[in-house]
Structures are given as C-alpha cells and as structure tokens.
Structure 1
Amino acid sequence: MTAVAPSVEYGQLEIVPVYFDDLDAMGIVHHARYALLFDRALSGYWGRQGYEIGAAQSEDSFQAVRELTLSYLAPIRRTGEIAVHLWLNHLGRTSLEYGFRIRSLDGATTYAEGRRAMVRLDPASMRPTPFTESGREALGRLLRPAAEQD
C-alpha cells in the first residue's frame, strides 16, 4: 500500500519501489542503484505521459546521458517504497538537465540528490538533434520555476 507522499511545489513526485536485490551485503541500497531509482521514476512519469522507449511516436525519448552527479546523504536501509522528486533545471534546443531528490515517503529524509544531463540524438546519425515542439511542451511541464531555457 502506498503511503501519502508529500506534495512538491514544482516538477513531479514519483513513488518507486526498492527491491531486495537493490540492497548490498550490508542491507543498504547499493550506491549504483540510486541512479536506477531515478530511472524508475522517470520511466513511470513518462510512461503515463504516453512516451514509450523505442516507439516511433516517442522520438524525443531517444536520448543519451551526458553527465550524472549524485550526492549520497543518508542510506536507504529497507525495501518498500520511496519518493523521487524530479524536475528540469534546464531545457535547451538539443539537451536538458534533470534535477532530482530521492526521499522518504514522508519527506523527512533526503537520501540522495543529483542532476543528470541528457542529449537528444538522431537515431540514424547519432548526432544531437532538436526536441520536437510536442516534446518541448511535455518537457516544459517539468521545468523548475525560473529555470533557464534557450
């Protein structure tokens, strides 16, 4: 059963599972799994927006990670559900930068925070290509207030 998670002023709050196999030998979430928790949140959010990885109608989802930074603030010591607050710090012509916080459901603990820069690629040339207008509109809903756009 999902607990009621705190609301957020901008972006989106996604509830994601922490599974037994996310834990390391010490019983805490392995450091590499924090990026996976963020991916689970993104997949859930964009899936509900109608975007599907590999689908022709989801051309804007053909993106590559350019950079990922994570700060680990507190260990996640159990399985169950956690909250991932995600938003956009920047939306450019061919790139974007997500910001995120991985938190307890009650919002009292922030386990990690970070950012991830992505570049939209043309599938044929594998070169950066601009987001479509519909993609920019969908992405714009996640922009943090006063976030820069170019």
Structure 2
Amino acid sequence: MTTVTEAGAIIPMPVHFDDLDAMGVLHNARYAVLVERAVIQWWNEHGVSFSGGRPTTPDAFNVVREYGITFHRPVTGTGDIVVHFWIDHLGSTSATYGFRVTSTDGGIVHAEGKRVNVRLDPATMRPAPWTEPGREIAATLLRPGKMGG
C-alpha cells in the first residue's frame, strides 16, 4: 500500500532471506532493487507500466541514467522496510528522484540517495520529452519548493 506524503510517496517493501548477505544484513545491491520496485509500484498504480511486454503509455519507456546511494545503518534481518521517494527536479526528458530507505516508523534511515530517469523514444533510443499526462502525474511527487522544467 502506498502512502502519499507532502513530499512524495512512502511504500513498504519486504526484505526476504535471499536479500541478505553472509552477515545477515541487506546486501548493498538489493537497495537499488527495492527502490526500483517501489518506484515501479507507484507508477503502476497511476497507470504507467508495462502490459504484455509493451508500455501502457510512452512515459513507461524510460531508463535509469544515474544512481547514487549513501549507506547509514544496515538493515539486519528480514521483514518490512520503507522506501520513501520524491522528485527533486522534473526536466523535459528526465526526472531526478530523491529517496530514503528507512525503518517502518521512519526513525532509522538506512540509506539515502538519488536516481535520474530519462524517457526514451523506443524507435531511436534517444531522450524524448515526457508526455503532458505523465508530467501531471510526476508533478504529484515533486518535493515542495522544487520545480518541474
């Protein structure tokens, strides 16, 4: 279930046993997967997804151009965590997300970072502008005081 906040969305995500490394903590590579799943879930709930191997809207055809993360405290063991994400900047062809991975009560920040997605034209594989309906949906994730461009 997605919770909408003043700044973005909060999505609980499960940590499974096979997400853990040999020390019993969430493997560093799994953070990117959990953020990806949370973002995909949110967009899917807003009608932007893939069905039958095809995008449901042109805005579903996008890629991650950049990803950066800082780890603070390890997730130890299985159970739910939370991915909180928002958009810091909405450009004509890109969107810069900020995110935090936290405990379910938000009291512990396990990691935080950013990722930049770029919409592509499927024929040319070059950057293409977001559609107006996609921009309207994305604008609901804009952090207060941030701008779309």
Two-structure CA RMSD over aligned residues (Å): 1.8
Partner of 1:34: 31
Moved over 6 A (4+): none
- Equivalent residue in structure 1 for 2:20, among 23, 32, 35: 23
The letter for the 2-side match of 1:136 is R
SS in 1 for 2:57: helix
Residue 46 in 1 paired to residue 54 in 2? no
Residues 15-94 of structure 1: pairs in structure 2 closer than 5 A: 15-53=12-50, 54-94=53-93
Distance 1:46 1:6, change over 3 A: closer
- TM-score after normalising by structure 2: 0.92
Shift of residue 78, structure 1, vs aligned partner: 1.2
**Structure 2 CA distance for aligned equivalents of residues 75 and 82 of structure 1:** 11
Equivalent in the alignment of 1:141: 140
Tell me how many residue pairs correspond in the alignment: 147
- State the alpha-carbon separation in 2 of the partners of residues 61 and 6 from structure 1: 21
SS of equivalent to 1:77: coil
* Deviation of the 1:47 alpha carbon: 1.5
Deviation at 1:55, TM superposition (A): 3.3
1:52 Cα offset (Å): 1.4
Structure 2 portions without partners, runs of 5+:
none
Does structure 1 retain, via aligned residues, the 8 Å contact 2:25–2:74?
yes
**Unpaired runs of 5+ in structure 1?**
none
Q: Secondary structure at the match of 1:96?
A: strand
Partner residue in 2 for 1:116:
115
- Whose strand proportion is higher, 1 or 2? 2
Identity %: 48
TM-score in terms of structure 1 length: 0.92
Distance 2:19 2:55 in 1: 32
- Change in 2 beyond 3 A, CA 1:122/1:6: closer
State the shift of 1:15 in Å.
0.7
Q: Judging changes above 3 Å, is the alpha-carbon distance between structure 1 residues 103 and 6 closer, same or farther for their aligned structure 2 residues? A: farther
Report the residue type matching 2:92 in the other structure.
Answer: R
Q: CA deviation at 1:6?
A: 8.8
